Amino acid sequence: MNTETSYLGLKLKNPLIVGSCGLTNSVENIKELEKNGAAAVVLKSIFEEEILMEYYATVKNADSDELKYLDYYDYKIKQNNVQKYIELIKDTKKAVDIPVIASINCTSSHEWTYFTKKIEEAGADALELNIFMMPYMRDKTGTDNEKIYFDIIEKVKSQVKIPVSLKMSHYFANLGRFIERLSEKVDALVLFNRFYSPDFDIDNEKLFAGHIYSSKFEMHIPLRWIAMTHGHLHSDIAASTGIHSGADVIKMLLAGADATEIVTTIYQHGPGKIKSMLVELENYMKKHNYNSISDFKGKLSLKKSDNPSAFYRVQFMKYSDFEK
Ligand SMILES: Cc1cc2nc3c(=O)[nH]c(=O)nc-3n(C[C@H](O)[C@H](O)[C@H](O)COP(=O)(O)O)c2cc1C
């Protein structure tokens, strides 16, 4: 039995990638993730602002007006985050055999994109762009917002030869069509990102950060969209958010994902969770006599479904609709 999959042009020994988070921020942690079976890692993101600070401070000049608009300039430059990120890539590549995917959080196609070349030179196997603009901009339309995505991708793709993926949200009008259009421009899409959300403390009447970790029920959003778009896309797909068990990985593959990114379940159960998720996957494949992932990838997608209306139905008319 073979659990290999191809993602971003990389051969992965299985479909379990550890997504970008604090656990992928050190060589020691990443070695531990590899030891437990992770097929690849996405490094903790570096932020566009951090790269821009270096750009204005060193590539341009330190007195540049732009610097005045960047928060925490002194603090961050002293931290030397950009150089540290390059070293993290180089050191991780020396220490592990699995693919290492760098990650950048960005909101514009400004000068920071020069840095992607440095990431490539440092040896990253691929680059994941985490793009998000709050979809509430009074001076912009949805079309303006979408254009920013295409501008960033075009600029980054013109700088590097390594594969580029886009980790995106689901806050778009005509989401399915937008995913299709993006898939023509990147090597992979990560569906979907999950955000830090505000919550209210009603006793003190204050705002605080809501659930940092996902719940397993959140996996149904990516599941629907991966299943619905499977067969219409030009890029690979990684499923992300709410994947907490081997069964969840299998569901995402049945929907049509090429790989999965997991984070919360590793925070909650430790790196050993990867091993047990892989055992679940192998047992499933044995039980169904599948020799490879391609034997069942996309089997429950909309294109192959004998009940396509189940994907389109969103309102509960009567609860028994899905029991037919
Ligand atoms: C503590 C923590 C830090 C994270 N940092 C990043 C980050 O730097 N960049 C990023 O793209 N996503 C980051 N994420 C989001 C995760 O990569 C992932 O998209 C999200 O947690 C949903 O996956 P999950 O349900 O498996 O947790 C972070 C998540 C957590 C919990």
Task: Give residue-wise pLDDT tens across range 44-60.
Answer: 999 998 888 877 776 65
**CA triple 134-138-140, angle to 5 deg:** 80
- CA-based nearest residue to 93, from 113, 121, 112: 121
**In this prediction, what percent of the chain has a pLDDT beyond 70?**
91
Judge if the beta carbon of residue 21 lies within 6 A of ligand 1: yes
Q: How confident is the model at residue 311 (pLDDT cuts 50, 70, 90)?
A: confident
Which residue has a Cα nearest atom 30 of ligand 1? 21
Using the atom order of ligand 1, give the atom closest to the CA of residue 242. Answer: 25
* Lowest model confidence (mean pLDDT) among 71-75, 162-166, 168-172: 71-75
Average pLDDT for the chain: 92
Judge if the beta carbon of residue 260 lies within 6 A of ligand 1: no
Judge if the beta carbon of residue 10 lies within 6 A of ligand 1: no
* Lowest model confidence (mean pLDDT) among 194-208, 271-285, 304-318: 304-318
SS3 annotation, the chain = CECCEEECCEEECCCEEECCCHHHCCHHHHHHHHHCCCCEEECCCEEHHHHHHHHHHHHCCCCCHHHHHCCCHHHHHHHCHHHHHHHHHHHHHHHCCCCEEEEEEECCCCHHHHHHHHHHHHCCCEEEEEECCCCCCCCCCHHHHHHHHHHHHHHHHHHCCCCEEEEECCCCCCHHHHHHHHHCCCCEEEECCCCCCEEEECCCCEEEECCCCCCHHHHHHHHHHHHHHCCCCCCEEEEECCCCCHHHHHHHHHHCCCEEEECHHHHHHCCHHHHHHHHHHHHHHHHCCCCEHHHCCCCCCHHHCCCCHHHHCCCCCCHHHHHC
- In this predicted structure, what is the pLDDT of residue 54? 79
Residue 78 has pLDDT above 80, yes or no: no
Which amino acid, residue 120? E
Judge if the beta carbon of residue 222 lies within 6 A of ligand 1: no
- In this predicted structure, what is the pLDDT of residue 72? 47
- Average pLDDT (142-161) is 96
Buried residues in 123-144 as b, exposed as e (16+ CB within 10 A): bbbbbbbbbebeeeeeeeeeee
120-131 pLDDT tens trace: 999 999 999 999
User: Model-level pTM?
Assistant: 0.93
Q: Ligand 1: distance of its center to the CA of 263 in Å?
A: 6
CA 101 to CA 124: how far, in whole Å? 6
Judge if the beta carbon of residue 36 lies within 6 A of ligand 1: no
Residue 1 has pLDDT above 90, yes or no: no
CA 282 to CA 33: how far, in whole Å? 19
- In this predicted structure, what is the pLDDT of residue 316? 74
More reliable by pLDDT, 206 or 318: 206
Domains of the chain (ranges; CATH) run: 5-323 (3.20.20.70)
Tokens describing residue 79? 């931290």
Q: Ligand 1: distance of its center to the CA of 19 in Å?
A: 6
Judge if the beta carbon of residue 165 lies within 6 A of ligand 1: no
Which residue has a Cα nearest atom 2 of ligand 1? 21
Judge if the beta carbon of residue 253 lies within 6 A of ligand 1: no
Is the Cβ–Cβ distance between 52 and 111 less than 8 Å? yes
Residue 3 has pLDDT above 50, yes or no: yes
Q: Ligand 1: distance of its center to the CA of 84 in Å?
A: 20
Q: How far is CA 73 from CA 61, 68, 79, 112, in A?
A: 13, 8, 10, 15
